[in-house]
Amino acid sequence: MADISRGTNFRRAEEASNAAYYLEQAGADQRTIDSLKYASSSDIQTALQAAQAKQNADAALAADNADKAAKAKAAAEEAARLAAAKGNVLTQNQGSSTNDALLQQMIAQQQRDAAAAALAKQQARQSAIDVVTARFNAYGLGSLASKIKELAVDGATEATITLGLQSTDEYKTRFKANDARLKAGLQVLQPAEYLNLEDGYRQVLRSYGLTQFSTDDYVQQFIANDVSAKELSDRVSIATQRVQNADPAVLNQLQSYYGIGPKDAVAYILDPNQQITKIQRQVAAAEVGVAAGKQGLQSNVGVSEQLAAQGIDQGMAQKGYATIADYLPTAEKLSQIYGQVGQYDQSTAEQDVFNQLASAQRTRKKLTDAEAATFNASSGTIKGSPPHTFSQSGAY
């Protein structure tokens, strides 16, 4: 009988030791742990179940697994109910009500901690949903609201939700110009940069009344081709001030030189696939051609582009061609009479007036001298010939 008693006591001591370990891990106070020395085997088992349930709840919360946490919490509540029903948990026969109250307090605190942790996680999850949803609504991607909630419920943070949404078809379509930029070796724009560019483009276009070009398609092309807000402003200035609102003759000259019709001129100038330098050269050449035409002269595209490249603008071209028109008829007539001296035609006059070409100036002087010699005069000039010629700055 003594051996049986010793064996029973040994098992109870071992159980008490295990229960003490788990209660300590669960955060029980030392008084509760010490009371296990006097508890019965069934009381020790009950305490052990309660402590293990608490550990399971903590582990589930640490793993951020809502399902496990709920099950562990339910197990803890069941253990508390059983402990309350037994009435003698972790006590001697005396003072059982005191120990029972301590155990119930410990379990109740565990339940409150678990509930607070769950609430904090829920609040953090909802905050991430609210922040990302507001951001993507600003992008025009409110359709991704359900995807945002799905990712948040799975435990994704604000950053990982945003990253996950970037792989959706909706996101790629919204910021599709980034794909074109990437293929062209350009830097991919962040959403904020992308949206700022869109707003800047539309503001410029609308301020000039060009709302037909503030469409998503045009705006995406501007971004894809890395058109800056400054370049777009320059294009719009050319399109409106120098073409759309200028002399209709400029539009006609653009069509004559480059096949750009009046209805398509503005779209051509705003086309981001066309280089701004080429557009500027073509418009300037057309203006030079118009200046020549107003004087009854014809300037071919090559000469007009050359003069435009030299910095001859429309105003300077008008003055120069007015001078040429004034004396060219006389110069051409003298060329017919004194052909052996030299020929002076429109091309020669353009080199004389706009480029100060020495050979052209000598030809004009020879014709003047030949005319003077024929009439036995000491000197003479071609009627209307300029005393000075154009420099590249446009001065006489």
Task: Indicate yes or no: pTM above 0.85.
Answer: no
pLDDT, average across residues 90-116: 65
pLDDT, residue 225, reads 92
The owner of tokens 């949803």 is: 133
pLDDT, residue 87, reads 45
Crossing angle of helices 158-165/145-153, nearest 10°? 130
**Terminal CA-to-CA distance of the chain, rounded, Å?**
135
Most confident of 62-66, 155-159, 350-354, 357-361: 350-354
Residue positions counted in the chain: 396
pLDDT, residue 66, reads 57
Q: Quick check: 194 pLDDT over 80?
A: yes
pLDDT, average across residues 6-13: 56
Which of the pair, 310 or 383, is modelled with greater confidence? Answer: 310
Closest CA to 201 of 177, 231, 171: 231
Each residue's pLDDT tens digit, 279-288? 999 999 999 9
Q: CA 275 to CA 280: how far, in whole Å?
A: 9
Which of the pair, 186 or 116, is modelled with greater confidence? Answer: 186
Each residue's pLDDT tens digit, 221-232? 999 999 988 899
Q: Quick check: 391 pLDDT over 50?
A: no
Q: CA 226 to CA 215: how far, in whole Å?
A: 17
Which of the pair, 207 or 52, is modelled with greater confidence? Answer: 207
Question: Which residue pairs from 97-100 have beta carbons closer than 8 angstroms and sit at least 24 positions apart in sequence?
Answer: 99/32, 99/35
pLDDT, average across residues 60-70: 56
pLDDT, residue 65, reads 53
Phi/psi for 166 (5° steps) reads -70, -15
Q: Quick check: 101 pLDDT over 90?
A: no
- Band of residue 113 on the pLDDT scale cut at 50, 70, 90: confident
Which of the pair, 35 or 208, is modelled with greater confidence? Answer: 208
Q: CA 38 to CA 47: how far, in whole Å?
A: 13
Q: Quick check: 375 pLDDT over 50?
A: yes
pLDDT, residue 285, reads 95
Which of the pair, 32 or 330, is modelled with greater confidence? Answer: 330
- Band of residue 33 on the pLDDT scale cut at 50, 70, 90: low
pLDDT, residue 124, reads 67
Q: Quick check: 318 pLDDT over 90?
A: yes
pLDDT, residue 106, reads 75
Q: Quick check: 179 pLDDT over 60?
A: yes
pLDDT, average across residues 328-348: 86
